[in-house]
Chains A and B, each alone.
Chain A
Amino acid sequence: GAVVSQHPSRVICKSGTSVKIECRSLDFQATTMFWYRQFPKKSLMLMATSNEGSKATYEQGVEKDKFLINHASLTLSTLTVTSAHPEDSSFYICSARGGQVSGNTIYFGEGSWLTVV
């Protein structure tokens, strides 16, 4: 199956700083990428949808100025948490769709743990 990779897998940052999480589709071109947030023992909550070369579409309640999403190429999307606060600590997951390898199926990255101290 298709491979989606996230980096870093774990990051700790100080309150008030910004942190960037990368999501790469390694063996296919991802026309669409999705970003999710997941709290312990809860389901995945969609944050935003990004199409290559376009602005991301954010779900209701997600602050677009705080969670900056860039999908500059067909293999890379980034999520930047700006001015992070402890309440932003969470597990962030990306997924990608598109291309012959992926086809109809959406594949997920390994996830990234963010801890804001």
Chain B
Amino acid sequence: LAKTTQPISMDSYEGQEVNITCSHNNIATNDYITWYQQFPSQGPRFIIQGYKTKVTNEVASLFIPADRKSSTLSLPRVSLSDTAVYYCLVGPSGGSYIPTFGRGTSLIVHP
């Protein structure tokens, strides 16, 4: 199971782009990278998932370099409501994969 490392906390200001990087040096060939957002007293919410290169949806982009040993979640023009904890999970599709969480990155967006 690929271990992930993320910064514990980050600070930003409204309107800025925020990039959160996750290191996963021992990612396996069949592993996907998934990012979740969690607000206090709520379950994690799926943000984006990718395997390689770049994935973009209506809320974020995910950049994955060719060696796949890291990934970067990019949040464009953050607002106060983006203040949350962001988790990076790495694991295979389906099968017996059991999702386990690291400490995540606590993002605080300031006015």
> Interface residues, chain B, CB within 8 Å of chain A?
32, 34, 36, 41-46, 49, 87, 93-94, 98-104
A108 to chain B, nearest CB (A): 4
Q: A104-B49, A104-B94, A105-B49 are in contact. Are A111 and B43 (CB under 8 A)?
A: yes
Q: How far is the CA of A93 from the CA of B103 in the complex (A)?
A: 16
Nearest to B44 among chain A residues (CB) is: A108
Q: Give CA–CA (A46, B103) in the complex, Å.
A: 13
Using a CB–CB distance below 8 Å, which chain A residues touch chain B?
A: 1, 4, 6, 34, 36, 43-46, 49, 91, 93-95, 97-98, 103-111, 113
Contact A97 B94 (CB under 8 A): yes
Given the complex of chains A and B, what is the CA–CA distance between A110 and B43 in angstroms?
Answer: 4
The 7 A-B residue pairs whose C-beta atoms are closest, nearest first, are A104-B93, A108-B43, A44-B101, A111-B43, A43-B101, A108-B44, A93-B43
Task: Check B44 against A46 for contact (C-beta < 8 Å).
Answer: no
Q: Which of A49, A97, A109, A113 has the most B CB atoms < 10 Å from its CB?
A: A97
- Residues in A with CB closer than 8 Å to B36 are 108
Name the A residues within 8 Å of B44 (CB-CB). 44, 93, 95, 108
Contacts of A36 in B (CB 8 A): 101
Report yes or no: B43 in contact with A6, Cβ–Cβ below 8 A. yes
Residues of A within 8 A of B100 (CB): 46
